[in-house]
Every structure is written in C-alpha cells, then in structure tokens.
Amino acid sequence: MQKGLAQFFLSALFIASAQLSTAQKSELGRPVAIDKLPSGSLYVLGAQGVVRAVDFQSGKAAITGSFRLPPGWAGSDIVSAQVSGQNILFIAVNYGLTGQVNMYSTTGNLIRSWTLRSGVAGIDYDASDSTLFVASGRTPEIFRITVTNGSQPQFVAEASGSQRLGPILYDPNEQALLVGDLVMGAIYKVDITHHSSSLLFTELTSPQALKLSPDRATLFVADAGARRIVSYSIAQPKAAPKVFAKLPQFRSPSGLAWADDRLAVSDDGARRLFFLSKTGSLEDTLPATP
C-alpha cells in the first residue's frame, strides 16, 4: 500500500515537472526578430534579450535551446551567417541610448562587439563581402562593419528624409540597401556606391522586417501597423503592393525568415511564430494555436 502511494506521488511529480518543462519550452516571450541559417536552426530574438533556437521535429516547430543576453539589453535584430566556416549570430541590441552589435556563436559565446552611439534599429549581412550593414536607431545614418578586419562602424550613407529607421536589407542583385522607415511607413533604397538614397516604396504603416524571396524578385515586408505581410515586385517598384497574408491572429508582425519553403513570421504582440505557405496561408504556429 505504502509502496503504491510512493509510486503514485513519484509519477505525479514526474508529470508535473514534465508539464513545467514543456510550458517553459513553449514560452516565446516577445519575439522581435528572426533569422535562419541555410542549414541550421531558426533563431528567434526576444525583446528582453533571450535568443531561442527553433528546429523542426517531424515537421513541427519546437524550441530546442536558448541563451540569454546580459540584463538590460533590449533585443532589436538578429542575423545568422557563416563566418570562416563557423555558424554565427549577429545580434543587435540597445542599452539605453547606446546600440551594440554583437557577434555570438550559436551556443551563446560572445565573440566580438561593436558600439553605435546613436542606437541600432536593424542589421543585415553581406556574406560575399563579410560586411555587416547597420541602420542607426536615432539618426538616418547607415553604417558598415567589415567583420573580418576588425574595423569600427563606418558611415555609408544617409536615408535623406527618414524620420526613424527600422529594418535594413542588403540586395545583392542591385548591390543596394533597402531600409524601412517606421514613422513614414516607407522603404528607402540606398545606393552604397554613390552614397545616395531614394524613396522606393510607400503605403506602409510601420515596416518592421524585410525579406527577399529566394529568387530575390519579391520583397516581403512585415507591416506591423496594418497587421499584415505585403509583397512588392523589385522589378516594378511603382506597382501597388500585394497583401501576402493578413491573419486575424496577427498583432504586430516583427520578423521574417525563410524556413525551407515556408515564410516564418515572428509577432511581437501575439507572442508567436507563424509559418506561412508560399501562398500566404497559415500552416503552423509556435506555440501551437490552442
């Protein structure tokens, strides 16, 4: 009888701890940015500075690991890359008015840091040139960091007329940068060679993330204010944007990444990841929709 009771309590304890573990693992916090290594995990950056790795097990997304950034760091953007054969995460954070871009291993070891006095709003990496592009947080400036030679951030160009820069994307086809403006609801094209900028797309509310399609012909934009994902044709910048996805569950889409053939969308307000098909229909969420 006593042995039976002990077994019962032990079983109950095991079930409770397993549930706790599952609950903790399914907690995403407030995801503000995502990116995926071509042959690796999807990495999710939380507003409170937690980085989570998401992998697909039997087609279902699950959190498989995490590490925490120092306290007080507010997550801004994340980019994954291969540098010298090693998988690397570039993580942009703000601490007060100061921005920082940090180079981490995928297991959370800090390798290098660069400081930006005017904060940081977005980052992107040009693998062919080992160059990191950084959109400033409080000025319309764009900086370049050459990762391999240990240089400090160098001014590249200014997005003239911009009020508050947001996400940044390097387009290798055009050898240009696309930069979102959170207040103007617009996307600027910045010519790196001639250090000039022009207004490319408008009609947005608050572009929070930019992603090119795998063939680089289409630009996807997470438009947080309108709670939708829109797409633009790069070849026809004057054409009206198409609504790719506008789910009722969207609150504030904050990040975009390609996960195999699906577009992963992080949502800061909904505290979820949404996985969309090529046609924009919802296929899966993390945590799973109840």
Residues contributing to the site for another protein (CB under 8 A): 30, 32-33, 47, 72, 74-77, 94-97, 119, 121, 137-138, 164, 166, 182-185, 205-206, 208, 224-225, 227, 248, 251-252, 254, 268-269
Q: Which is nearer to another protein, 123 or 263 (CB)?
A: 123
Burial class (CB in 10 A: 0-12, 13-18, 19+), 67: middle
**3-state DSSP assignment of residue 247:** coil
- Least distance in angstroms from the C-beta of 7 to another protein: 36
CA 64-280-229 angle, to 5 degrees, is 85
- Least distance in angstroms from the C-beta of 260 to another protein: 25
- Least distance in angstroms from the C-beta of 77 to another protein: 7
- Least distance in angstroms from the C-beta of 206 to another protein: 7
CA 122-278-203 angle, to 5 degrees, is 50
The Cα–Cα gap between 61 and 48 comes to 22
Q: Which is nearer to another protein, 42 or 234 (CB)?
A: 42
Q: Which is nearer to another protein, 184 or 219 (CB)?
A: 184
Q: Which is nearer to another protein, 140 or 234 (CB)?
A: 140
Containing 61, the helix (H) or strand (E) segment is strand 60-68
Q: Which is nearer to another protein, 80 or 254 (CB)?
A: 254
Q: What is the DSSP string of 106-145?
A: TTS-EEEEEEETT-EEEEEEEGGGTEEEEEESSSSEEEEE
Return all residues near 238 (Cβ < 8 A) that are at least 6 apart: none
Q: Which is nearer to another protein, 153 or 167 (CB)?
A: 167
- Least distance in angstroms from the C-beta of 194 to another protein: 27
Q: Which is nearer to another protein, 219 or 247 (CB)?
A: 247
Q: Which two tokens stand for residue 151?
A: 């240089």
Residue 116: C-alpha distances to residues 45, 120, 189, 226, 290 (Å): 19, 7, 22, 30, 41
Name residue 51's amino acid. Answer: V
- Least distance in angstroms from the C-beta of 290 to another protein: 11
Q: How many residues does the chain have?
A: 290
- Least distance in angstroms from the C-beta of 186 to another protein: 9
Q: Which is nearer to another protein, 168 or 263 (CB)?
A: 168
- Least distance in angstroms from the C-beta of 78 to another protein: 10
Residue 273: C-alpha distances to residues 201, 217, 250 (Å): 26, 24, 10
Nearest 10 degrees: CA dihedral of 38, 39, 44, 45?
-70
